[in-house]
């Protein structure tokens, strides 16, 4: 099933906006309306949208549309903005384009130009992001995305798509499990030896369904996996491939027709909604009030990773990996580890434990797979089954 476009329309003349939106009927878009800039920003903070159609002359104040653009720039929120400009707003329209608006349509030409400009804006904005998400998304997602983008044959692309979605599901479970309220569930669902794609997805669903408020990034990644039926089908294809059951040429073609748009949609959603950062803390300093953090941001496909600096009011542990969501740093170990090897870095994902799962004592070593090589890798710091909550 194709994902419907989601458009946010901010205009204080709601009846006019609703009338113009009829020009978009054949795009099968879901259009949500709001009547001022503050409401538009609230909506953008809560959900994913493919496009923002923005009137310039609306509250707050005289030019609320410019206020929205200034706020989007300060928040670094990825969304294409199409400005609706009225008579006598040429100066403000130019300022809107300088503030980051992608394009504009004058209201007197909207009947003829709106639909085409909407399609053009969405394509021009999102197509490059779908091809470059491997440069800025968290490394556990960026690396498998890069592997998909580098493939040419249909069979290889299908395999990489299933690996990509398995990585997104796994990373979602890691982020959800990093909250203290959810960690007790790990021993129940990860005591199954080497966790499969389906196991990680079950863990993700159950963690997400707990009566614990979702943080912004947790909500964001859930939007990328909201088509549960599609994920179940991808899990099935992944299991077939792992067990050597290659699909026929026709079946592969059919899967790609459904899975490629799903992958591109997930990259768009994650680019906009996954607002946190995966960081490795290397050093802490203290200025008498706050702790200064120096480390690495674990993002993109390049294992060198760029430097990271931050401020936090409480002490963190050095040589440990955290998910930074707003002002909160959450320890993601022992499910996800990062470690330096010379000038490059390795990212390790939990992949079971050594020992008999029918008689867990708590002192069994956890096992890991390195995401770039996709091979088993011994961590520099050992973790044990007791670190996942198993009793000793």
Q: What's the whole-number mean pLDDT along residues 105-128?
A: 95
Query: Prior bond to 60 cis, omega within 30?
Result: yes
**pLDDT: is 388 or 231 the higher one?**
231
Measured distance CA(322)–CA(335) in Å, rounded: 11
Phi-psi region of 193 (alpha: psi -120 to 50; beta: other; left: phi over 0): left
Segment 59-82 shows an average pLDDT of: 94
Instruction: Of 348, 343, 345, 336, give the one whose Cα is nearest residue 387.
Output: 336
Q: Where would I find the H helices in the chain?
A: 14-21, 37-46, 64-75, 90-98, 110-130, 139-149, 154-177, 186-189, 197-208, 216-223, 228-242, 249-273
**Residues contacting residue 358 through CB under 8 Å, at least 6 positions apart:** none
Q: pLDDT (tens digit, 9 = 90+) per residue, 267-286?
A: 999 999 998 999 999 999 99
Average pLDDT value for residue range 258-271: 96
24: closest CA among 53, 44, 2, 54? 53
- Tokens (6 digits) for 14: 């709601």
- pTM score: 0.93
The mean pLDDT value for 119-139 works out to 97
pLDDT number for residue 1: 43
Supply the pLDDT for residue 2: 55
Question: For all residues of the chain together, what is the average pLDDT?
Answer: 92
Instruction: Report the distance separating Cα 156 and Cα 249, nearest Å.
Output: 12
Average pLDDT over residues 15-27: 94
pLDDT at 193: 60
Asked if residues 217 and 171 have their Cβ atoms less than 8 Å apart, the reply is no
Q: In what order do the strands lie in the sheet with 306-312?
A: 306-312, 291-297, 277-286, 320-325, 328-331
> CA–CA separation, 133 vs 139, rounded Å?
10
Secondary-structure class of domain 6-130 per CATH: alpha beta
Summarised one tens digit per residue, pLDDT across range 148-197 is: 999 999 999 999 999 999 999 999 999 999 998 898 887 766 555 678 89
Cβ neighbours of 344 (radius 10 Å): 11
The DSSP call for residue 352 is: E
Please state the domain extents for the chain: 6-130, 135-271, 277-388
In this predicted model, what pLDDT tens digit does every residue of 342-364 receive, in sequence order?
889 999 999 988 887 777 888 98
Helix (H, G, I), strand (E, B) or coil at 33: strand
Q: Say if residues 276 and 324 touch (Cβ distance below 8 Å).
A: yes
Strand, helix or coil for residue 365 = strand
Nearest to 120 by CA among 135, 142, 105, 98: 105
Count CB neighbours of 117 within 10 A: 18
pLDDT score recorded for residue 377: 94
Neighbours of 139 (CB within 10 A): 28
Cα distances (Å, whole numbers) of residue 370 to 159, 228, 345, 384, 390: 18, 27, 10, 18, 24
Q: Which two tokens stand for residue 70?
A: 């200034």
Which region holds residue 344: left if phi is over 0, alpha if psi is between -120 and 50, else beta?
Answer: beta
d(CA 214, CA 201): 17
Backbone angles phi, psi at 306, to 5 degrees: -90, 160
Could you tell me which of 34, 86, 32 has the C-alpha nearest to residue 57?
Answer: 86
Q: Which residue's structure tokens are 């903070």? A: 45
User: What proportion of the chain, given as a percentage, has pLDDT over 70?
Assistant: 97
The single-letter DSSP state of residue 385 is G
If one counts every other C-beta atom within 10 angstroms of the C-beta of residue 188, the result is: 12
Whether the CB-CB separation of 163 and 263 falls below 8 Å is answered with no
Residue 70, C-beta contacts closer than 8 angstroms, at least 6 positions apart: 99
| Cα Rg of the chain, angstroms | 23
Instruction: Give pLDDT, residue 190.
Output: 58
Q: How sure is the predictor about 123, in pLDDT bands with cuts at 50, 70 and 90? A: very high
Tokens standing for residue 239: 């299991």
């Amino acid at each position: 099933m194709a994902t419907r476009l989601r458009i946010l329309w901010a205009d204080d003349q709601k009846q006019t906006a609703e009338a113009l939106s009829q020009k978009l009927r054949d795009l099968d878009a879901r259009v949500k309306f709001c009547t001022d800039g503050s409401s538009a920003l609230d909506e953008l903070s809560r959900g994913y949208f493919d496009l923002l159609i923005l009137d310039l002359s609306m509250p707050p104040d005289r030019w609320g549309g410019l206020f929205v653009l200034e706020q989007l720039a300060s928040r670094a929120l990825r969304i294409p903005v199409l400005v609706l400009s009225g008579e006598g707003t040429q100066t403000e329209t130019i300022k809107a384009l300088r503030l980051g608006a992608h394009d504009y349509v004058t209201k007197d030409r909207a009947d003829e130009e709106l639909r085409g400009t909407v399609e053009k804006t969405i394509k021009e904005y999102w197509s490059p992001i779908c091809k470059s998400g491997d440069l800025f998304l968290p490394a556990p997602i960026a690396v498998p995305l890069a592997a998909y983008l580098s493939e040419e044959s249909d069979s290889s692309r299908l395999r990489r798509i299933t690996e990509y979605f398995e990585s997104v599901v796994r990373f979602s479970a890691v982020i959800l499990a990093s909250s203290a309220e959810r960690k007790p569930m790990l021993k129940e669902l990860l005591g199954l030896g080497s966790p499969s794609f389906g196991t990680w997805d079950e863990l993700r669903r159950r963690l997400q369904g707990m009566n614990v408020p979702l943080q912004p990034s947790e909500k964001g990644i859930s939007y990328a996996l909201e088509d549960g039926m599609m994920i179940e089908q991808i899990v099935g294809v992944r299991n077939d491939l792992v067990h050597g059951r290659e699909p026929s040429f026709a079946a592969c073609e059919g899967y790609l027709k459904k899975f490629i748009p799903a992958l591109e949609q997930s990259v768009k959603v994650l680019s906009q909604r996954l607002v946190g950062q995966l960081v490795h803390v290397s050093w802490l300093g203290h200025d008498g009030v706050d702790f200064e953090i120096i480390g690495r941001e674990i993002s993109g496909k390049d294992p060198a990773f760029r430097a990271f600096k931050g401020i936090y009011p409480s002490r963190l542990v050095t040589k440990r990996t955290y998910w930074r969501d707003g002002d909160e740093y959450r320890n993601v170990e022992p499910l996800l580890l990062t470690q330096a090897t010379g000038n490059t870095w390795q990212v390790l994902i939990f992949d079971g434990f050594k020992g008999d799962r029918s008689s867990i004592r708590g002192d069994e070593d956890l096992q890991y797979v390195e995401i770039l090589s996709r091979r088993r890798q011994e961590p520099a710091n050992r973790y044990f089954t007791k670190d996942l909550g198993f009793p000793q």
